[in-house]
Chain A
Amino acid sequence: SQQGEEDPQALSIQEGENATMNCSYKTSINNLQWYRQNSGRGLVHLILIRSNEREKHSGRLRVTLDTSKKSSSLLITASRAADTASYFCATDGGFKTIFGAGTRLFVKA
């Protein structure tokens, strides 16, 4: 089964609101990444957080990692219509990257 599971599966918010997506995983990891996929496009790397880090920021993105709970969250602040996309967490599984099922975010203008 998938290493990472995102929650919620879908999220609809108004422009300007914050969006929070959660990811849970099953086995211990070295790193966790978040990717974005716009409709009909490939995935684009957003941010990486290492297992010894608890929080990381990049622009309007904030990622947290709780290795004791095997979970991570991605917060997008002051969302924009252009943030509408699917967001995936990804964890390391040996020589491969394993993706969760994704959260579909819809930001209404």
Chain B
Amino acid sequence: DTAVSQTPKYLVTQMGNDKSIKCEQNLGHDTMYWYKQDSKKFLKIMFSYNNKELIINETVPNRFSPKSPDKAHLNLHINSLELGDSAVYFCASSQDLGWASGNTGELFFGEGSRLTVL
């Protein structure tokens, strides 16, 4: 049973296209995230949702639109893809939001979706 699963694992597409990545977690967590990892392995948060509500939007271009139909799912849609969007996108979840007392803040990651824009 995969805790955090995201699809597709690989995505190769042309500039200007629109694509989506889906993520589902079966851990019963309240919070989900999208992270972007570039070619130098830098991992940067893009969005976080808590109980379907957007909490963090880290100055990501509005070509990126997350959607959380329920707290177990967080999808990422990207419009008008650009070369610089090529990266590995990771979905993650945590039990609660933030690192408040009693929360470990531990993140559970999916296996990543490698997006290549040609």
Interface residues of A (CB under 8 A from B): 2, 30-31, 33, 35, 37, 40-45, 48, 86, 88, 90, 92, 94-99, 101-102, 104
Contact = CB atoms under 8 A, between A and B. Distances in A.
A45 B99 contact: no
Contact of A45 (B42, B43, B58, B106): B106
B106 A94 contact: no
B105 A97 contact: yes
Interface residues of B, number: 28
Nearest to B40: A101
Nearest to A90: B107
State the main secondary structure of chain A at its contact with B. Answer: strand
Contact of A101 (B42, B92, B105, B112): B42
A42 B109 contact: yes
Given A2-B42, A41-B112, A42-B110, A95 B104 contact: no
B106 A95 contact: no
Contact of B4 (A42, A92, A101): A42
B45 interface: yes
